[in-house]
Structure 1
Amino acid sequence: MTRVAIKICGLTTIETIDAAVRAGASHVGLNYFPKSPRYLSPDRVGIIAPRIPAHVKRVGVLVDPDDNLLDALIVAGGLQVVQLHGQEAPGRVAAIRQRTGLEVWKAISVKTAADLAAGGAYAGAADLLLYDAKTPDGAALPGGMGMRFDWSLLAGHRASGPWGLSGGLDPENVAEAIRITGAPLVDVSSGVESAPGVKDVDKIAAFCKAVSQC
């Protein structure tokens, strides 16, 4: 089986970045959403981002960003990937991709098969679709809440391009998630935390080990 890519999202310290890199993460997520407990200010990003080695991709997680914010955060974090987690329409996603020249991911909130189908509207606009659990109406956060959706919805699903799985993953269930969905990339945040926004280096290592054994 081809190696499954691993994104550890919401890292805020040099210690946890080192742990993710050491464990074999292919991507590190830097969260730029102010309401998140994993939020990184541009100044803080400038301190910890240089710790990420060149072979690990830096992913900036943003929610409905304007162009000025995009420019500032791309520079501050040295981003290689922009992950959009808001209400960005396909046209806006395509415009960000063209404007920045970076790889762009779009999170697709999933609860039913119809939600998966709706992701097809982003074909050609986004480089990768990240299927995440749909949060409750009125939730303060668009993701990172430890929720999962019915993974069997992805069994046999034919995405229009590259995709990944997020939402409710942890060291104990990620192998099952990969088995059911065939996900080529898995994305974890709260599942490797000891408290909201506090990453656990042992859980990071356990998560990456579980993926590597798939």
Structure 2
Amino acid sequence: MTVQAKICGLSTPETVDAAVAGGASHVGFVFFAPSLRDVAPERAGSFATPPQVGRVGVFVDPDDDLLAHAIATARLTGVQLHGAEPPERAAAVSRRFGVEVWKAVPVRTRADLDVAARYRGAADRILYDAKPPAGAALPGGLGLRFDWRLLDGFAHPLPWVLSGGIDAANVAEAVAVTGARAIDVSSGVEDAPGVKSVDKIAAFLQAAARL
């Protein structure tokens, strides 16, 4: 089984190169000032990637001006909406900017999964991530893992990506439990919050390639 892997929250040329060399299907750049992984669109745009690697920008309730600037400057092929964006907003982003739209759905209980169905026809992919604790400053990238068994038997309304608390040591378990064909990792390939490790990126992608 081929499992796609997106390495998210990249901010240096060395880590982007490691993701590409390791076979990542996508690289992700965070455009959200409160995040330790925030990167300027101009800097993200300076990172070289081959045509087959998708470039996904992560946003939290962005306005159109930010989207337009980041998409053009960072040469994005996809937009990941990680805030409270309703289906109507996701659809509008897709229509206006012509990029692939991923919508993050925070999960703690089985009922949380039902939100995904609202985005059928509005988004291209759903990203299931762990729901942050109440009062958390960030909507994701916290290294939290939800109960993967919640996805057992769930009828996914859209192509989907699994995220939250995944690393080289547990990616095989994550795929075995959920049947995921696409994985998103950020904190799981870091030496410290916001500090990506070239070695951990390589190890994660090697582990994913064996699946």
Show the counterpart of 1:155.
152
Counterpart of 2:100 in structure 1 is 103
User: Runs of 4+ in structure 1 displaced over 6 angstroms?
Assistant: none
Separation in 2 of the partners of 1:57 and 1:200? 20
Residue 179 of structure 1 and its aligned partner are, at CA, apart by: 0.4
Aligned to 1:118: 115
Q: Which amino acid aligns with 1:135?
A: P
Alpha-carbon separation, structure 2, partners of 1:213 and 1:122: 32
Q: Residue 11 of structure 1 aligns to a residue in which SS?
A: coil
Q: 1:169 — aligned with what? A: 166
2:83 aligned with 1:86, yes or no?
yes
- The residue aligned with 1:5 is 4
Instruction: Give the drift of 1:119.
Output: 1.4
The percentage of counterpart residues that share the same residue type is: 59
Q: Which runs of 5+ in 2 are unaligned?
A: none
**What SS does structure 2 have at the residue aligned with 1:109?**
strand
Q: Describe the superposition over 1:121-172 as per-residue Cα deviations: whole angstroms up to 9, x where unpaired.
A: 1111100000000001111111000000000001121101200100000110
The aligned residue for residue 140 of structure 2 is 143
Query: Residues 51-70 of structure 1: matches in 2 within 5 Å?
Result: 51-70=48-67
Establish whether residue 130 from structure 1 lines up as the match of residue 134 from structure 2.
no
CA drift of 1:39 comes to: 0.5
Q: Secondary structure at the match of 2:57?
A: strand
Aligned equivalent of 2:17: 18
- The one-letter amino acid of 2:34's match is K
Count of aligned positions: 211
> Gaps spanning 5+ residues in structure 1: where?
none
Contact 2:46-2:74 within 8 A present in 1 as well = no
Paired with 1:101 and 1:189, the residues of 2 have a C-alpha distance of 26
Who is 2:31 aligned against? 32
TM-score w.r.t. structure 1 length?
Answer: 0.97
Secondary structure, counterpart of 2:46 in structure 1: helix
